């Protein structure tokens, strides 16, 4: 099965971002992420044997124990690979408490290490905290103006208190989108 470990913003943060994006969506012919799919991926695992999931959740819980629980906020813009030839438009995730040690980065490393220790292959792309709001459908697009627009966005803060382990069932959601199934929630601290 396809799994990912993620931070899911609370309903208030999702609704705030959705309200900001709603009047702007018609201006971009992108594949917009549905609000119920908003999340910040810490670790992505493309092919996981069912029998490894429980061990992964246990190792993840142990590895996240004692991690600080700062407040996070969605604010600013991110594109991949860069604004002039982007394939993904995203919102940054920032630690509003200003902790210098990068708690989201540490959580991502720990989530990925727990996967490897459980015998699960994990995507090794460089981690940059973000929440994807749109995809360009495989074609590079100049998103410079969208970056300027999203740089004005700052959502409400929320406590980073847990992560979710989610199964992604491709093509099983509305309009052949993925269907997400939360398998476990792991508390921090």
Residue pLDDT, tens place only, 109-140: 999 999 999 999 999 888 999 999 999 987 89
Domain extent at residue 98:
2-187
| Active-site residue, 39 included | yes
Model confidence band, residue 98 (pLDDT cutoffs 50, 70, 90): low
- Catalytic, out of 16, 37, 39, 169: 39
Statement: residue 173 has pLDDT above 80: no
| Active-site residue, 16 included | no
| pTM exceeding 0.85 | yes
Structural domain tally of the chain? 1
CATH number at residue 70: 3.90.1140.10
Helix 53-64 to helix 103-117 angle (10° resolution) is 140
Contact by Cβ (8 Å): 170, 117: no
- Catalytic, out of 16, 37, 130, 169: 130
Statement: residue 176 has pLDDT above 80: no
């Amino acid at each position: 099965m396809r799994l990912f470990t993620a931070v899911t913003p609370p309903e208030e943060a999702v609704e705030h971002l959705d309200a900001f994006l709603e009047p702007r969506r018609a201006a971009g012919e992108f594949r917009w992420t549905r609000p119920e799919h908003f999340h910040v991926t810490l670790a992505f695992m493309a092919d996981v044997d069912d029998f490894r999931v429980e061990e992964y959740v246990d190792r993840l819980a142990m590895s996240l124990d004692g991690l600080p629980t700062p407040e996070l906020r969605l604010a600013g813009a991110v594109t991949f690979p860069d604004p002039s030839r982007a394939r993904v438009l995203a919102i940054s995730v920032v630690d509003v408490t200003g902790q210098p040690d990068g708690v989201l980065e540490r959580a991502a490393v720990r989530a990925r290490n727990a996967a490897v220790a459980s015998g699960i292959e994990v995507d090794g792309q460089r981690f940059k905290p973000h929440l994807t709001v749109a995809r360009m459908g495989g074609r590079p697009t100049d998103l410079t103006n969208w970056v300027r627009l999203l740089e004005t966005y700052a959502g409400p803060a929320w406590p980073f208190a847990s992560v979710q382990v989610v199964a992604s069932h491709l093509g099983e959601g509305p309009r052949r989108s993925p269907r997400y199934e939360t398998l476990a929630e792991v508390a921090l601290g």
